[in-house]
Structure 1
Amino acid sequence: MEKIRTIDSPEKSINLFHCLNELGDRSLVEEIQQYLKSGRIKEANLSSSQWSALVFVLLTSEEELNEFCFDKFVKENNNPENMKVLQKLLPVIKESRSVQLSNCGVTEEGCAALTSALRSNPSHLRELSLSENKLRDSVKLLFDVLRDPRCKLEKLWLSDCGITDEGCAALTSALKSNPSHLRELDLSWNKLRDSVKLLSDVLQDPRCKLEKLWLRYCGVTDEGCSALTSALRSNPSHLRELDLSGNKLRDSVKLLSDVLQDPRCKLVKPWLRDCGVTDEACAALTSALRSNPSHLRELILFGNNLRDSSKNLLSDMEMDPHDKHMIKKLL
């Protein structure tokens, strides 16, 4: 984690901390000094007034806020103090280009407050992580920010947020309205099932520039995989990473092989761990990679009962004298 703000001038340091020293709040002075070095706060030691002082220090520093990282900064997800802390931090959050709030106990109420803050300054934020917060349908409020044409968000991580089919539909609608900025999307560990088909409408949009899509353990069905691969056939040149691990795709992986053999395909990391991939599907992958071997860097097949077929896949690739870019991992 990089520093959010630094104070290079000794005079600035004295000015910022002088009042706190006069009040005898040495613990907060030490916390802020440590935070400015490492980017982390021991939140359990801070009172409500101390949080206010911290926000004041961050906002009055002259350095630009580039990254705000408070991952796992709460001890209890249902702690009512979480909301108070988040409210105090909103002025800092909306000035940051990268906001990391994974596993912070952000509630539906907190998501609404966060959305309101981001809506007031939608063009600044580039990265947002809210993974492992039980946001459920309140995440739809956040997607209203994505819909704003001023929004330039490039990376969105929402793993294990309890997103429903309705939430996925709202996300899809927002991205259809403003599809050209998002580069990374993580929806892993949300039970999306067939609603993944809705994302396919975004992927096949020629304006879509998504490069990394993670859908680990989302309950993706054969039908969902079919829709995804159909979309990628329509718009194959942007996606670089696709993680479908933990979805029981079985023979539907053969559909992905059709995408991989397209010479326009630039997919370098297809992850298919624990997908129930069959020997027949692995044979289809082998055939596809013989046709278009130059881009692949990682092929994750660990957790599939493939017997000898995975060995055949790797050996076929290694025997190709024209392939200068070997598969780096086959797990």
Structure 2
Amino acid sequence: MDDAQTSRDEDVSPGFSSVHQKRSEPESSCVSMRSDESMGHKIHFPSGDTQTDLSHEVLNRFRSNLMKKFECLYEGTAQQGNPTLLNEIYTELYITESESGEISNEHEVRQIETQSRRAATEDTPIQCNDIFRPLPGQDKPIRTVLTKGVAGIGKTVSVQKFILDWAEGKENQDVQLIFPLPFREINLMKDKTLSLSDLLHVFFPETKEMEISSDKYKVLFIFDGLDECRLPLCFKRNERLRDQNKKKSVDVLLMNLIAGNLLPSALIWITSRPAAADLVPSECVHRVTEVRGFNEPQKEEYFRKRISDQSLANTTISHLKSSRSLDIMCHIPVFCWISAAVLEKMLSEAESGEIPKTLTQMYTHFLILQTNIIHEKDYEKNVTDEDLILKLGKVAFQQLVKGNVIFYEEDLRECGIDVTEASVYSGLCTQIFREEFGWNQGKVFCFVHLSVQEHLAALYVHLSCTNNNRNVFDQSFWSKVKDWLQHNSSGHVSLSELHRRAVNEALQSKNGHLDLFLQFLLGLSVESHQILLQGLIKQRRSRSDSNKETVEYIKKKIRTIDSPEKSINLFHCLNELGDLSLVEEIQHYLKSGRIKEAKLSSSQWSAVAFVLLTSEKKLDEFDINTFVGGYNKAEKRKVFLKLLPVIKESRSVQ
């Protein structure tokens, strides 16, 4: 699942609609499934349609099966874990109507930062169950909706709630059939040639007894997880198909459904992470919505529901608010789940260790917590912590570089993991690494959230360097020979050299997909982290001067790179390394009110942007004259460009 169902599942005014999910306690269990009669709903057919009793029975059985599949939710655990009823834990998240489905070229954490500052008046609220209903003043019918949102923000849970409300007879009763077809399951059919009817028969056997046509039933297709699609969706070269019984490749069937050639009156709902939003042409989409996650009150509500000891819950909330980087991440429901698991244990037991203040610290403590849970299970000891973490880390890194968040058997074999091993790891690490079985009974693997994958990938890269003298960014034949020679001699791969390479790789990434990975990698090299990991994994301690070299290299990059957005991530990296010198210097200027008189360098202006963006103060009005005095247009232009991210988030600009 893309969102908070496994993992994946903002400051907004009252009246916004939302789709928030409350996490249940791990020991909660799913009650028995309700019978068809308890749904309190019978199918209503189009007027004039003489349906047989068999059709009524088949349609009700179809609805009942969907309800059974979607009425329970699994929090960070595999299907064999402890489910809880969705209706018992579901609250609202913010969903807004967006102007377009354009892609975003920023890492999703940066997008969360942006959304957290966006003024409520800039957005149009929309209820999840109303996504196909025009807003006041809109008169055109809506056939296709694209819902975008970052990983873990609640897209899949929104879909799940929509389907459950329909199956229980509560909402959208003008729709008679809903076909949820997640891309991660459709991917397993990518080499098949079949008709639309055949495809539906595979996923929904009841349809063998129906005649699916848009004039007989009002139908809704839900394609969840467009970003996970591995089909060659090329709408420009797509062949037109109108016959639902004609056999074609699955990608041709899907494109013709979305384009409206097949079943033109059927409704289509597609969900996607922002980076993949443009895979469907804009002319095929009638409405774009965006799931925005938790707002400030919902964050607090979550922790008070998740942690039964209210004093402990308040301490947890206060601690998270004390760190801006952690507070921003709490817009993502799954990060709240991770933070609650870590902080509830650490704060209640009054452990001597440092309470996590950075992202790397939080995720490392989460990994240790999950490893301790593994030790409580009865499993064969031939699977060591180090073997398990390194194998999962290798998968995480190789697939992260490829941009994959879900993996199939062939992906795992490429990383030297057979399916049996993967199943063992999934069974041990249900809250880290999942194995899913879709309706098609094909195996799909994924980490519970993209950030968990990024952390494990960084740990693998760090340990490959410190323990095995290997820079995993060098994959050529001669580099491997060089690595082998170094590993079998007195040669040494410098950690600072690895850091420089990782910084450059992240800066060259067009969509920022290595930004958070880079933060984790640098954070893992801090001495306190190495001490923390010592009980988990044997590792060679790195030299303290390595980080000093890395800090200087990052500051040099901040001075020379043109992208203000890239420099902001580098400041987050400096924060992970414990270097706040530039930021503290700028904070002093801002507090004293003397910034206009100061002759700031390029890197200092980048620090100004970072400080303003990560402060809790709202950016209502930006006035360039507050920062630069006089009439030097060239100087003002230079400052303007450096502060562009701040200007974008301000409601008005002077």
TM norm structure 1: 0.37
Larger Rg: 2
Answer 1 or 2: higher relative contact order, Cα 8 Å, separation at least 6: 2
TM norm structure 2: 0.22
Q: Which has the higher helix share?
A: 2
